[in-house]
Amino acid sequence: MGASLVVSGASKAFGGVFAVREVDLVVEPGELRAVIGPNGAGKSTLFALIGGQRAPDAGAVRLDGVRIDRLPAHRRAQLGVSVVFQAARIFPRMTALENVMVGAHTATHAGFLAAAVRWPAHYRSERLIVSRAREALARVGLADWSTRPAASLPLGQQRALQLARALCAEPRLLLLDEPASGLRAAERDELAALLADLQQEGLTMLLVEHDVGFVMRLADRVTVLDLGRVIAEGTPAEVRADPAVIAAYLGDRQGSAA
């Protein structure tokens, strides 16, 4: 089961300008929450405050009640926060399976050590990693691609590969940064189906997304940021009808609202 995520009063400024300003966010266990907003709204910054790529100037981030906002990203990973970044962070010449195995080694160091203690011989934990990596690949529909070099996978599959790597760490909170970006329509549909499966399994997910249409059909609830503040929150239907949201998007140069 997924963890709860509570962000309270989180702020982060760059050169005196607030990117995120007094943001409160409560994500229930098993919820799929989308964070949307026009360009420069503070989505990436909020994402980084939760994932640990940045520390807030003020406020707190709690995972199942435990404060994580002062911890470096790798410690948060050990506590169950897994991140899928927008830019593919793959090792292009390594196989798909090896890419996922690297994730299992780095992201779950604590789990890995515990496994090493439980399993006397090192090679047995190595075997454990291989079997977990295979499981994760199968879970995202990449079982047949395991021996292919990662660079040979189409973008949609590369994104799924990153998802497999994140899942290998057995996350309690999965953070996805613009997972649909750059994907073709069919790939987007596959990704949506995959995320819906994880949602069914009760994993807590927070995704930051530019593609409003993509999140509107997936998210349990949507949080809308504008100029660093939460301007609306609710079900996709509520948010879509909210005048403040419509106004914020009309003011956006790209006018990317659904």
Ligand X SMILES: Nc1ncnc2c1ncn2[C@@H]1O[C@H](COP(=O)(O)OP(=O)(O)OP(=O)(O)O)[C@@H](O)[C@H]1O
* Site residues (vs ligand X, CB under 6 A): 14-15, 19, 37, 39-45, 210
Of residues 11 and 44, the one with the C-beta less far from ligand X: 44
Shortest distance (Å) from residue 15 CB to ligand X: 6
Shortest distance (Å) from residue 13 CB to ligand X: 8
Of residues 17 and 186, the one with the C-beta less far from ligand X: 17
Of residues 50 and 161, the one with the C-beta less far from ligand X: 50
- Report the Cα–Cα distance between both ends of the chain, in Å, rounded: 31
Shortest distance (Å) from residue 182 CB to ligand X: 14
Strand pairing class (204-208; 173-177): parallel
Quote the CA–CA distance of 88 and 121 in Å, as a whole number.
Answer: 34
**Sequence letter at residue 208:** V
**C-beta neighbour count of 123 within 10 angstroms:** 8
**C-alpha to C-alpha distances, 184 to 92, 156, 189, 214, nearest whole angstrom:** 21, 8, 9, 12
Of residues 45 and 158, the one with the C-beta less far from ligand X: 45
Shortest distance (Å) from residue 73 CB to ligand X: 16
Shortest distance (Å) from residue 248 CB to ligand X: 11
**C-alpha to C-alpha distances, 240 to 67, 226, 232, nearest whole angstrom:** 32, 15, 10
| CA 176 from centre of chain | 2
Of residues 4 and 181, the one with the C-beta less far from ligand X: 181
Quote the CA–CA distance of 38 and 226 in Å, as a whole number.
Answer: 7
